[in-house]
Structure 1
Amino acid sequence: MHSKAYSIIEATKKLERYCAYQDRCHKEVIDKLKGMRMIPEAIDQIVIHLIQKNYLNEERFAKSFARGKFNIKKWGKNRIINELKLRQISRFNIATALKEIDTQTYDDTLDVLAKKRLAQLTESDIQKKRKKLADYLLYRGWESDLVYRKLRELIPNT
């Protein structure tokens, strides 16, 4: 299998389109350039160009990532934080991104998600039902204190 050799100009144009299509983080761009077999000096030059021309902006990426994963996938803050860390986003940008999520909307979303999941559970054993609901919400990245408060509200100890 032959992979195409790219000039810096071709690679830059390709990455401009890649970044214009949707916000990307530095790691995705660097991985893409490595996949195009670009040398480190060329990668640095292209990344600098993309930042200067505002194709690449980690803060903007982090904000749109957090908004999207919360609004569309209903992820909690822990899952969003972990996914941003995997993409090597700075603590500062992660904190900024989480401010995009309105506190009231966050609480309301947890409530809707928990009630919807609870309605789907057919488990008759109360403890097992609580565990299944907790596992589901924790996996989606909701903070444990919020999850356990919601469990006490929705499935009180009888």
Structure 2
Amino acid sequence: MKLTYTPKEALLKLEHFCAYQERCHAEVVSKLYSLKMTSDEIEVVVVQLIESGFLNETRFACSFARGKHRIKQWGTIRITNELKARQISSTNITIALKEISSEEYDITFQQLSERCWENLREKDTLKKRKKFCDYMLRRGYESFLVYDRVKELEQNS
């Protein structure tokens, strides 16, 4: 691996990096620092990536929200926190969360909660409730949804 890169070489490398999958600004800046670029050079490369369409924070946030909800079945709280950790603006987070329809969200929540409840092999009702709630809250679902659902599942079992 080379030790130093010219801005032109770094730009080519980062175009491939961004073309492979959506990236946020923080990932790109971090990658450029790992290539031993200076702050000024990083700024120039980032601006060029944005202008050429390789780097788009809104597109990243939308893609991230859709993917994490559909594939990992995360709730909005977890998605929001993960996007904030990647320094995504609240405007882009709001736009990204609109990518998940309320019907899709409800269906995912119902299926995940059902599967979780069925898979818990806990005899003690209180422990089972706690494990269920902890799991669903860790997944990023709203507490009022989780607590209503646990009551519903308890009554049905």
Range class of TM-score, shorter chain: over 0.9
Q: Which amino acid aligns with 2:70?
A: N
CA offset at residue 128 of structure 1? 1.0
Structure 1 unpaired stretches of 5+: none
| Corresponding residue of 1:143 | 142
Cα deviation digits, residues 32-91 of structure 1 (max 9, x gap): 000111000000000000000010000000000000000000000000000000000000
**Pairs within 5 Å for 1:95-106:** 95-106=94-105
Deviating 4+ runs (over 3 angstroms): none
Check if 1:86 corresponds to 2:109.
no
Give the unaligned 5+ runs of structure 2.
none
CA-atom RMSD in angstroms: 1.4
Equivalent pairs: percent with the same residue?
51
Q: How does 1:106-145 map to 2 (within 5 A)?
A: 106-145=105-144
How far apart, CA to CA, are the structure 2 residues paired with 1:107 and 1:94? 20
2:61 equivalent in structure 1: 62
| Paired position in structure 1 for 2:39 | 40
Supply the distance in 1 between the matched residues of 2:155 and 2:86 (Cα, whole angstroms): 39
C-alpha distance in 2, partners of 1:63/1:157?
A: 36
Mapped to 2, the partners of 1:82 and 1:30 lie a distance apart of: 20
Amino acid corresponding to residue 75 of structure 1 in structure 2: W
- Matched length: 157
Question: What is the distance in 1 between the residues matched to 2:100 and 2:69?
Answer: 8
Distance apart, 1:143 and its partner CA: 0.8
Aligned to 2:48: 49
Q: How far is the alpha carbon of 1:125 from its aligned partner?
A: 1.1
Q: Which amino acid aligns with 2:31?
A: K
TM-score of the superposed pair, with normalisation by structure 2: 0.97
Partner of 1:31: 30
Give the aligned residue type for 2:97.
Answer: L
Amino acid at match of 1:98: L
Q: CA deviation at 1:157?
A: 9.8
Amino acid at match of 2:99: E
Q: TM-score, normalised by structure 1?
A: 0.96
Label 1:157 to 1:126 Cα distance change in 2 as closer, same or farther (>3 A): farther
**Structure 2 residue 154 is matched with structure 1 residue 152:** no
SS at match of 1:156: helix
